[in-house]
Amino acid sequence: MKFGVYFSFRRLPGDSKPWAEVYDESFAQMRLAEDLGFDSVWLTEHHFSDDGYSPSVLPIAAAAAAHTSVIDIGVFIALLPLYNPVRLAEDAATVDVISRGRLILGLSAGYVTSEFAALDVDFDRRSEIADEALEILYGCWSGDHYSFIGEHFSVSDVSVYPKPHTRPHPRIFYGGGSPAGRRRHRFVVETMNWSREPELLWLYISDDADAAWEEWGAGATHVHTRYMRWTKESGGDWWDADPRAHFIAGDVNTAIKAIENKLGGFRTEREGEAETLVLGMNMPGVDDSNIRRSMELFAAHVMPRFQ
């Protein structure tokens, strides 16, 4: 079992903390994750959110590479239909070079309708757009003088440089529970040669189990409310109304039990074991020292039980 830490670079709406400080704290926490023996840090992407939810995930990945040395840098996930796929191929290849092959690129079709409307992309055809974009990524990374003619994109005699450090392309996965998403996931696994999507667990550890939700709960509740709004906007209903059904705060023993339950459910539902468990500890509005302490407790007392 490998463990990663999840970052979305958010602050609570109305918070006056400078954005540069939000980013500085997160990059420092990434360095701490590397020092503590975590295997990966994971970045994410949404758009036009007043909490600052990281909209430019590839530039952040390049900065994460500069702030760390050996830890993997995962994108969980980039919204593929919102990109020009040739530019995405260039940007991802560049991050893979800067990081010397540490990039893991997660992709998805997306689900928030307002993001597609603002960027003038047809939400109802996002799966078709993603299919073409994924094929173009693979073509751009695999060789030179690449051409493609599709319904949504046309590419003529393109050669992407630099090529990725990882040959023939960065590690990649495709997230998505729909039949179309699963088809693309099989394409990624069979054609592009990588593995399972990581599992995300929203988890915070405190020295005092009774104080954990007080330290972390405001940020977790905000994040929960935002995801509920986005999923309802797109017609989904997979978020329980109680944030504590999704966000777990407690002591070391709470964390161990949560991971055992998560892995048990994963084996039952998906007939396999997760390769990487990504911990969503960093919440907007939570004190930096508390996040760092949670990471330290996890590394010292939880991680060794599952490695």
> Residue 265 belongs to a domain with what CATH number?
3.20.20.30
CA-to-CA separations, 230 to 49, 148, 208, 236, in angstroms, rounded:
10, 34, 33, 8
pLDDT at 192 over 90: no
User: Structurally, how many domains does the chain consist of?
Assistant: 1
Q: What is the pLDDT of residue 268?
A: 47
Residue 284: φ, ψ to 5°: -60, 140
**Which structural domain range is residue 74 located in?**
2-306
In sequence order, the 6+-apart residues with CB closer than 8 A to the CB of 220 are: 202, 204, 213, 243, 247, 249, 283
| Alpha-carbon span 111 to 87, nearest angstrom | 22
CA-to-CA separations, 258 to 155, 175, 243, in angstroms, rounded:
47, 23, 15
**Under 8 Å between Cβ of 33 and 72:** no
Report which of residues 262 and 268 the model is more confident about: 262
Q: What is the pTM of this model?
A: 0.93
| Alpha-carbon span 22 to 33, nearest angstrom | 17
Report which of residues 306 and 307 the model is more confident about: 306
In sequence order, the 6+-apart residues with CB closer than 8 A to the CB of 76 are: 6, 42, 43, 44, 106, 175, 198, 200, 278
By CB neighbour count within 10 A (0-12 exposed, 13-18 middle, 19+ buried), where does 165 fall? middle
By CB neighbour count within 10 A (0-12 exposed, 13-18 middle, 19+ buried), where does 250 fall? buried
Q: What is the pLDDT of residue 186?
A: 60
H or E stretch including 31? helix 19-36
Compute the mean pLDDT over every residue in the chain, rounded to the nearest whole number: 92
Please state, for a pLDDT cut of 90, what percent of the chain lies above it: 83
pLDDT band for position 256 (50/70/90)? very high
Please state, for a pLDDT cut of 70, what percent of the chain lies above it: 90
pLDDT band for position 182 (50/70/90)? low
Q: What is the pLDDT of residue 274?
A: 61
pLDDT at 214 over 60: yes
By CB neighbour count within 10 A (0-12 exposed, 13-18 middle, 19+ buried), where does 159 fall? exposed
pLDDT at 277 over 60: yes
Look at 55-59, 173-177, 188-192, 204-208 and tell me which has the smallest mean pLDDT: 188-192
Look at 43-57, 182-196, 269-283 and tell me which has the smallest mean pLDDT: 182-196
The pLDDT of 44-64, averaged and rounded, is: 98
pLDDT band for position 189 (50/70/90)? low
pLDDT band for position 190 (50/70/90)? low
Query: Residue 284's closest CA among 42, 2, 1, 21?
Result: 21
Pairing mode, if any, of strands 154-158 and 146-149? antiparallel
H or E stretch including 74? strand 72-79
Token reading at 114: 């307002």
pLDDT band for position 273 (50/70/90)? low
164-181 pLDDT, tens digit each: 999 989 999 887 655 555
| Alpha-carbon span 107 to 75, nearest angstrom | 8
DSSP-derived 3-state class of residue 209: helix
pLDDT band for position 258 (50/70/90)? very high
